[in-house]
Structure 1
């Protein structure tokens, strides 16, 4: 099974499991209203997960800095997508 397919299934399972944390009205609204740490009432989105997949092809210099930078960019990209998944392959 392709890794992206597995990750999509994992994301769906997370979404289903996390729904049990919320009241039906929160699930319908897509958010819950609560007091933040400063005492201000605000809307909090329901929990979600984003998945970033970085593939390094043979011969790519895999420095910690490079991987950290690429994963940081992928994290932002994943959060901005409808399906919550971002993929990238680094080739030599």
Structure 2
């Protein structure tokens, strides 16, 4: 498998990774709603008392989303490798 090509393809083909992969999956929607509510609640609590802490929380949340996106990309590449192995 040409890993570089597949990484590039993933990056250009999946602009909205969550939307394109999860689609209308109800469980994903429930989990995302719960996560959004937790983030909003945390932002309200922390933001009221400490703006610097609020920014740090935002940075932590964005970092977790970056990790999640990278994991999805790695899973995609694993699937591409598995497909290639099965076709041999």
Q: When the two structures are superposed, what TM-score results if normalisation uses the length of structure 1?
A: 0.31
Greater share of strand: 1
> Per chain length, whose mean CA-contact separation is higher, i.e. which structure has more relative contact order (CA < 8 Å, sep 6+)?
2
Greater share of helix: 2
